[in-house]
Structure 1
Amino acid sequence: MTRLGRWLSWVSAALIVYMLCHIALEIVLRAFFDTSTFVLEEFVGYALGAMIFLALAASHTEDRLIRVNLLKNILGPRGREIADAFANLAALAACLLLFGALYNIFTRNLRFGITSSSFSETPLWIPQSLIILGLGFYILRLAVNVLVHTEKSLKA
């Protein structure tokens, strides 16, 4: 799981490079050639959404997400594990709700061939599939964390 999460975070980093290159290309086209790709905002928006969700599991695994440890600092080792298990379980529940809603939108767009209303007419299921992939992997990561913290709390 950690290796796959790291790979997805590398894909996320590649999306940052893509966004940088697309913005630079757009600047050159507008400044020197009086033209545009006409899809900068749309494609960078898709990349940003995908980047966030693809890197989520790796960020959580490496403990890089914002956390409020006020309560955890006054708990003992067992209490910390129970608090972590509960926090991961709450995040898992929220992510499952979000996944269900996004998956419904994804399948509808795929089934009916819905495209963006912009110049590119991008099939919306393509960028949404990356978001679904990232969120799905994060859900697996949270489920593993719940089990790990529960096991540690029983041993402590």
Structure 2
Amino acid sequence: MPTRNLPPALARLVKLVTWTENALLIGMLALMVLLAAAQILLRNFFDISIFGADQMLRLLVLWVAFLGAIAASREGKHIHVDIIARWLPGRIKSAVVALTDLFTLVVCLLLAWQSLRFMHSARESGEMAFATLPVWVAELILPLGFTLIALRYGLRFMHHVRQALGREVAE
């Protein structure tokens, strides 16, 4: 979504969040590859393994998947059905897309709320993911991811509403 129509402070915040998302995604993906490769080499050649590596890899897969979904929503490339909207004229298409953005926003907010409840129950249980990392800390990506996706779709919704009203030119 273009940031040119946002207030300058919000545009800077969006750019900072985008940079942070990309850095986390690249870092975690690199860590995942290195950890998996090290685990394979150590097991095959030295008959040893890194303690907690398998659990860490499972968590990294979850985090990378959510960070990838956040990045996809940022670029408007997240899964969506546009079988009808693709053939509609400009402003009508923008109105239909705004409705689907609103629906996605509401669903993501509901999922963020439920994942917060899930995380809270994990915190109360005191369960550990591995070593000294509590499960609830490992699950932080759930409400964070759904909230970031919801915020992105909120921005997209406002953008498409402005297009539908003729206040912005449709791309």
TM-score where L is the length of structure 2: 0.79
Rounded to whole Å, the distance in 1 between the matches of 2:74 and 2:150 is 12
SS across alignment from 2:128 = coil
Aligned to 1:146: 157
Aligned to 1:8: 21
Q: CA deviation at 1:21?
A: 0.6
Q: Which has the higher contact order (CA 8 A, sep 6+)?
A: 1
What is the number of residues matched between the two proteins?
A: 154
Q: What residue number does 1:44 align with?
A: 57
Deviation at 1:103, TM superposition (A): 0.5
Of 106, 113, 116, the residue aligned with 2:119 is: 106
Q: Does 1:86 align with 2:103?
A: no
The Cα of 1:2 is off from its aligned counterpart by 3.9
Q: Report the identity percentage.
A: 22
Cα separation, 2, equivalents of 1:73 and 1:31: 52
Letter in 2 for 1:141: R
What is the deviation of 1:70?
Answer: 2.6
Structure 1 regions of 5+ residues with no counterpart? none
CA distance in 1, matches of 2:45, 2:163: 61
Counterpart of 2:155, as a letter, is V
Q: Is the 8 A contact 1:99 1:132 kept in 2?
A: yes
Question: Residues of 2 paired with 1:22 and 1:151: CA distance?
Answer: 46
What code does the residue aligned with 1:98 have? L
CA contact (8 A) 1:55 1:134 kept: no
Alpha-carbon distance, 1:41 to partner = 2.9
In structure 1, C-alpha distance between the alignment counterparts of 2:120 and 2:56, rounded to whole Å: 21
Q: Which amino acid aligns with 1:49?
A: L
- Paired with 2:110 and 2:79, the residues of 1 have a C-alpha distance of 21
Q: 1:31 maps to what in 2?
A: 44
Q: Give the aligned residue type for 2:116.
A: Y
Q: Which runs of 5+ in 2 are unaligned?
A: 1-13
Matches within 5 A, 1:65-80: 65-80=78-93
Q: CA RMSD in A?
A: 2.0
Which residue identity is paired with 1:132? P
Instruction: Give distance in 2, aligned partners of 1:67 and 1:96.
Output: 17
Q: What's the offset of the Cα at 1:83?
A: 1.6
For residue 38 of structure 1, report the CA deviation from its aligned partner: 4.3
Q: Tell me if structure 2 keeps the 8 A contact 1:53–1:131.
A: yes
Q: Distance in 1 between matches of 2:140 and 2:45?
A: 36
CA–CA distance in 2 between the matches of 1:69 and 1:146? 15
